Amino acid sequence: MSKLITRRGLVGAFAAGAGSLLAGCDRLGDDPTFRKGLLFRGDDWNRSLQRLLSNRDAPAREYRPDQMSPVFRTNGTRDPGTPDYAAHVASNFVDWRIPVDGLVNRPTAFSVAQLRSMPLRAQITRHDCVEGWSAIGKWTGPRLATLLDVAGVKDSARYIVFHCADRLGRARRPYYESIDMVDALHPQTILALALNDRALSVGHGAPVRLRVERQLGYKHAKYVQRIEAVASLDGIAGGKGGYWEDVADYDWYAGI
Ligand SMILES: Nc1nc2c(c(=O)[nH]1)N[C@H]1C(S)=C(S)[C@@H](COP(=O)(O)O)O[C@H]1N2
Ligand SMILES: [Mo]
């Protein structure tokens, strides 16, 4: 979270002018977070200002089909490699279920078929990995917001955590990632079922992976097997909100 924290100084400096900025900004009127009145709730004040100043609602750039990369490489885990995952591959993920739980009113487990039957969004975006490569591809899937709506995410939820089916490193720690509600509800945040019009390959995170455009590659959790709404990241694994955040001190907010 270092970026959020380091921006606080900046945010404070702009606070005096924020009232007039807010008044002139109709765009906020459409936003569920703002409608719920979160904006003026003490602790969220800085976060909301930070969002306003950095324009966190802005869409990521989308590209034309002719700009798509001929090859989209894979990175990190290329196959979770467990007997359980192999069985799901063999049965084409018919029994794969993604529970959405934690701070929700109606915990719900979604099958891949259910996700496929939701309104789907397709977006051609650029993936940027910290290791120094990028690729442009077309991702298709339902918005995360749709699932959160079905499950009835509570107002007390501040983060959405993605628990993955793979384990990494010598310690075999499970991969996981998390995002805040600004990114969770963003229209381009989807649970991708397909890359370039084909069902996700094992290498790219079959059957379901997160796309959180405007953040770096490691935030895009592959092999999503559980989605949890939480008020704090403290109790989860190393407490820093993601596998790489825990083991290598990567920034939690990996904005591009
Ligand atoms: N579950 C899981 N998700 C993951 C990773 C991983 O190792 N495990 N690697 C991350 C990194 S660093 C990148 S760059 C992208 C790579 O996605 P791709 O293999 O589809 O190109 O996945 C991200 N999501
Ligand atoms: Mo990456």
DSSP state string for the chain: -HHHHHTHHHHHHHGGGHHHHHHT-GGGGG-HHHHTTGGGSTTHHHHHHHHHHHTTTSPPP---GGGS-S-----S-S----HHHHHHHHTTTTT-EEEEEESBSS-EEEEHHHHHTS-EEEEEEEEEETTTEEEEEEEEEEBHHHHHHHHTB-TT--EEEEEEEEEETTTTEEEEEEEEHHHHHSTTEEEE-EETTEEPPTTTTTT-EEEETTB-GGGS-SSEEEEEEES-STTSTTSSSSHHHHHH---SS-B-
Q: What is the pLDDT of residue 40?
A: 44
Q: What is the pLDDT of residue 57?
A: 82
List of the chain residues with pLDDT < 70 = 1-54
Q: What is the pLDDT of residue 50?
A: 63
Q: Is 76 in the pocket of ligand 1 (CB under 6 A)?
A: yes
Residue to mutate, 140, 195, 220, ligand 1, most ligand atoms under 8 Å from C-beta: 220
**Closest ligand to 85 CA?**
1
Q: What is the pLDDT of residue 45?
A: 60
CA distance 220 to 198: 18
Q: What is the pLDDT of residue 30?
A: 44
Q: What is the pLDDT of residue 31?
A: 42
Q: What is the pLDDT of residue 33?
A: 42
**Closest ligand to 200 CA?**
1
Rounded distance from Cα 234 to ligand 2 centre (Å): 24
Q: Is 192 in the pocket of ligand 1 (CB under 6 A)?
A: no
Rounded distance from Cα 196 to ligand 1 centre (Å): 17
Q: What is the pLDDT of residue 46?
A: 61
Predicted TM-score (pTM) of the model is: 0.83
Nearest alpha-carbon partner for 157 in 178, 180, 177, 176: 180
Q: What is the pLDDT of residue 29?
A: 39
Closest atom of ligand 1 to 135 CA is 21
Nearest alpha-carbon partner for 191 in 96, 120, 97: 120
Nearest alpha-carbon partner for 70 in 135, 115, 6, 26: 135
CA distance 35 to 43: 17
Q: Which domains does the chain have, with CATH numbers?
A: 60-248 (3.90.420.10)
Q: Are 36 and 155 in contact (CB under 8 A)?
A: yes
Q: What is the pLDDT of residue 153?
A: 98
Which residues, listed in sequence order, are joined to residue 128 by a DSSP beta bridge? 134
**Closest ligand to 242 CA?**
1
